[in-house]
Amino acid sequence: MKISLRSHLPTDFETLYEIDQQCYEPAIAYSRRELRMYLRFPGADCILAESDCKTIGFSITAHRRTEGYIITMDVLAPYRRKGVASALLSEAERRLSAEGVQRIGLETAVDNLPGIAFWERHGYRKIGIEKNYYPGGRDAFSMMKSL
């Protein structure tokens, strides 16, 4: 499968919203308002992954000075475990590094075993637990990687 990456355009918004709704349960998926807010964060960057002219995933990151943060990494279910998230992450880290970011943080649910394995495979390490991070009282691991 050939994957191409590009920066998002304002006209991509509804596609991003639909993908996020498909990737996460309703209590966790972003509302349109939240998604717009994240896209407008200072230092925000959104990268889309496409295959056969179809958007199949995206990442949103933000940074301030030397600190970066992965807000979300969404890949549609049929395209998971095919290198899409790895390609998005590699490009996001490259862009953050070019902006002078030295460390990148993120959170992932403590029961998201495939997600935890993905982040650890890419050099992210658990640095703590955020209690009640997700709706319903679900905890999240805080993870960090130094570039």
Q: Is pLDDT above 90 for 27?
A: no
Q: Which residue has the higher pLDDT, 111 or 136?
A: 111
The 10s digit of each residue's pLDDT in 120-131 is 999 999 999 999
Q: What is the pLDDT of residue 98?
A: 97
The 10s digit of each residue's pLDDT in 36-45 is 999 999 899 9
- Map out the domains of the chain as residue ranges: 4-104
Q: Which long-range contacts (CB under 8 A, 24 or more apart) does 39-45 make?
A: 39/8, 39/13, 41/71, 43/99, 44/71, 45/7, 45/92, 45/95, 45/96
Residues 59 and 75: their CA atoms lie apart, in Å, by 9
Q: What is the pLDDT of residue 135?
A: 85
- CATH fold group of domain 4-104: Aminopeptidase (3.40.630)
What DSSP string describes 65-114? TTEEEEEEEEE-GGGTTTTHHHHHHHHHHHHHHHTT--EEEEEEETT-HH
pTM across the whole model: 0.94
Q: What is the pLDDT of residue 118?
A: 96
